[in-house]
Structures are given as C-alpha cells and as structure tokens.
Amino acid sequence: MAANIQAYLENLKQPWGQIYYDILFDQLQDIKGKRVLDFGSGFGLVANHLAKDNEVLAVEPNQEMVALRAQEHPYQQLVGSLDQLASLEDASFEVILCHNVLEYVEDRKLVLKEFTRLLKPGGLLSIVKHNEVGRVLQTVVFENDPQKALNLLAGQDLETHSMGLAQAYDLDRGVEDLDLEVQDYQGIRVFYGLQDNRFKGQEGWRESMLKMELAVCQESPYRDIAFFQHYRLKRS
C-alpha cells in the first residue's frame, strides 16, 4: 500500500495523534542551542517545535508533506533523502533525529553510517522505532485480530494505517561496527494504543493519559511493551 498522506494528516489531528507528540516533545525537552538534523521530517512537527530553541535542518522526500508542513518557527527544509545528506559536511550536527523512518528504508546500515559521519563526537542520535512486542499487543487488544498478530510473530511486515508496510528491525544489530552506542530508551504509546478510540474524545482524556504515559515511559516493563520505543544513541 502506498502512503496515504491525507489519512496520515487526519490521524495527527485526532487526540491519539496529538498525544504522541506531547510525549515525544517532553522526551526531547533537553535539546536546546544545538544544530539539529531531522531526517524524514514529514509534516515538520518536530522540526518546527525544536526550531524555537535550535538551528534545524529538515529533510523529507515527500513533496506533499513538505507543502503542508508546520512553519511557525524558522528552519531550513530540503526535499530529498540520502542524496541531500551526501553534500553535508562531516561532524556538522550535534543532534540527529530519525523518527519512524527506518521501518520504511531498504538499506538501514547505509543511513546509519551517514548519521555517524554527520554527527559530532559526543553527539546525540534520536531514533523512534516500532517495538515488535507493542505491535503484537495492539493488534490483539485494540484491533481484536489474533490472526494478524500471529502473522507479525511469524515475521510478516505490519500494514500501517496510512504509510504502507513497516518492517521491524533490531537497532543493536543495525549499529554494530558503527561509532554509535545506545545510551537509553523510553516508551511511547504504552497504554493509549490499547484503548478504544471512543474514550479518547472525552474531556480531560489527553491530559490524564499524558500524565500516565510520562509516569512510566522510562520504566521497565512498561517501556518494553510500548508500541514505539525512543532510543538515544551517542556518537563516540
């Protein structure tokens, strides 16, 4: 299935789409005064948010998403992918973001090598990725589709709501032989992806669920069952 950009945009406007960014922005709040690369920037929500306190370069291949991007704060936007990274200088960024992108990339190692080249020593690589356990849990509980969950356990890719097939991957294996070390990880969508959407329109839902998600996002076993995991890696 090809990406359905309008469906993705509409999903982001829903309470369950907005709370994802509430959680992520809380987890990124320490990034200030940095030169930041947002690779696969989508609608520019993260690039725009971080541009308040940072110098941000965003790279996104989908022209439709770029045309609809958030632009409340100034940042540089390039249309493209790895081709745009090739012209950038070595060790030119203190922070690189790659959120929900590598699931859709054929050669993850090549992308991670480029990130290693572009990051300054001691720099931060922020990766948000699908968690296989969380995907299976949501498929059984929220979607009520055990057969689809069994297919995921057997190695089948996940058909996402709007972005096509998403392939799970092992980040530790991906950074083998690279000067990148996992420092920590947090969970995103521990609970709210398991709830029926009819609850999510209730007054106060977003605020109370945000408190709950933030209370456990750094703790195991909760972060280990989240649909998304947010990894922080350091460039040596």
**pLDDT in 10s for each residue of the chain, 236 residues:** 456 899 899 999 999 999 999 999 999 999 999 999 999 999 999 999 999 999 999 999 999 999 999 999 999 999 999 999 999 999 999 999 999 999 999 899 999 999 999 999 999 999 999 999 999 999 999 999 999 999 999 999 988 876 888 999 999 999 999 999 999 999 999 999 999 999 999 999 999 999 999 999 999 999 999 999 999 999 99
DSSP 144-174: --HHHHHHHHTTPPEE-SSS-EE----HHHH
What is the value of pTM for the model shown? 0.96
pLDDT score for 2? 55
Q: How many Å apart are CA 147 and CA 204, to the nearest integer? A: 34
Beta strands 180-188; 228-235: pairing state: antiparallel
> Which helix (H) or strand (E) is 146 found in, with range?
helix 146-153
The three-point CA angle 34-28-220 to 5° equals 140
Q: Which domain holds residue 161?
A: 5-235
Tell me the backbone φ, ψ of residue 153, rounded to 5 degrees: -60, -30
Q: Which residue has the tokens 């480029």?
A: 114
pLDDT at position 163: 81
d(CA 18, CA 203): 14
CATH code for the domain in which residue 114 is found: 3.40.50.150
CA distance 217 to 11: 22
Q: In total, how many domains does the chain have? A: 1
**CB-based contacts of 141, cutoff 8 Å, min separation 6:** 194
Which of helix, strand or coil describes residue 14?
coil
